[in-house]
Amino acid sequence: MKILPVLISLLLSINTLANEIRDTFYNGTEDQIIKSLTSSQLYSDSINSLKETPLMLAIKLRKLRIIDFLLKEEQVLHEIHQENAWGENALSYALKAGDLKTTLTLSKYLQVKTLKNKKGQDALIMAILSGNSLLIKFIMKELGGDYRSKDKKGYDQFYYSALMDTPSVLNYYKPSLRELLEGVEENVFTLSSREGSLRVVSYLMEHYDGFHKISDRLGNTMIHSAILGQSIEIMNILLPHYSDLSIKNNSGFNAADLIEISSHSLMKENFILYAEKDKSALAFEFAKSGNFDEVISILKSHEVDLNYQNEFSQTMLMMAAKSNNFDLVSYLLNKGADKTVIDYFGNLAVDYTADTDIIYHIESF
């Protein structure tokens, strides 16, 4: 019968020591923390209600000296697999903190590939959420090129990449368009636009043709999403790729409707200036970017001067030649574009390209 009081007393003593260590972590110096850990010998015990160990707390609070001290203790390494109340171990903490050095050390004892918390977030998602690009690259290399991450809500590494504006993940895995359209409600295209993730949006625009036609399950295109997220920078780079702003989402709103209810005055001003822009000038801009579909769309739906010239006397045909778009060059010539126009610098359309097929086509037309 005397055993029970002894056990209770021991547990209370341990709990008191754990509380002292926890308080020292938050209020003491690193020397005081080490002294507290050494005297108590509670190197790997839970020290708070979240079941965090001293190592977890040291990583979370970014106390590098304490981390190094603990990782030299055999007891800590022996019980390195301990998890907190959310099913996260010390490696999870290192990843979330963006701590590459500690991650490299812990990955020798804990499996990167099998790591997951109770939310279903794995090592890659945790690394992406940290925002540390070097850490992300290390984890991607560990997992391999065909790895597919997905949490319990169905969000994958590409979704989190859009959320955190991390195009390196997209560049490493090179996902198919189908994979990028598997979002729960928003896909990578619309999420990155709404979140203002400029680097990811730029990557998508460069690597996926027809990006401007893609919509999510709510019917929002990238331009809808940029306006909803009040991301003026994203809206500005997307607008030149949308000749038709009348497309409605599932709620019946087009881009102009969303602008009308937006509280962003500068965004409204930029949108209106673009919408009212001369269609010949607009077609010129699409030709400048080599956007064949949008040039045709404008030519079919509006009266456009095929030989419209900008402030440098450049024409659509010159811009099409410069972008090395043979189909667009051919289309414009067939529609009546004048190949003899000379720009401000004394150049003809044929002078804007080094593509021999385009040069021959222009000269022989």
At 41, list the tokens. 């010998």
Taking each helix axis from N to C terminus, what angle separates 356-364 and 326-335, rounded to the nearest 10 degrees? 10
Rounded Cα distance between 216 and 284, Å, is 29
pLDDT at 328: 87
pLDDT at 248: 93
Start-to-end CA distance of the chain, whole Å, equals 106
Q: Please, what's the b/e burial string for 25-54 (b: 16 or more CB within 10 A of its CB; e: otherwise)?
A: beeeeeeebbebbeebebbbbbbbeebbbb
Rounded Cα distance between 301 and 282, Å, is 13
pLDDT at 1: 47
Rounded Cα distance between 159 and 176, Å, is 14
pLDDT, block means (10 residues), the chain with 365 residues: 47 61 86 86 80 91 93 88 90 95 94 91 95 93 86 92 94 90 85 96 92 93 95 89 84 92 87 76 79 78 84 92 90 92 94 93 92
**What's the whole-model pTM score?**
0.72
**DSSP-derived secondary structure letter, 31:** H
Rounded Cα distance between 92 and 90, Å, is 5
Handedness of CA 46, 52, 54, 55 (dihedral sign): positive
Q: What domains sit in the chain, N to C, each tagged with a CATH number? A: 1-85 (no CATH), 189-275 (1.25.40.20), 277-365 (1.25.40.20)
Rounded Cα distance between 259 and 340, Å, is 42
At 236, list the tokens. 């500005």
Phi, psi angle pair for 86, to nearest 5°: -100, 10
pLDDT at 21: 78
pLDDT at 276: 67
pLDDT at 6: 41
pLDDT at 291: 73
pLDDT at 2: 52
pLDDT at 147: 87
Cβ–Cβ contacts within 10 Å for residue 300, how many? 9
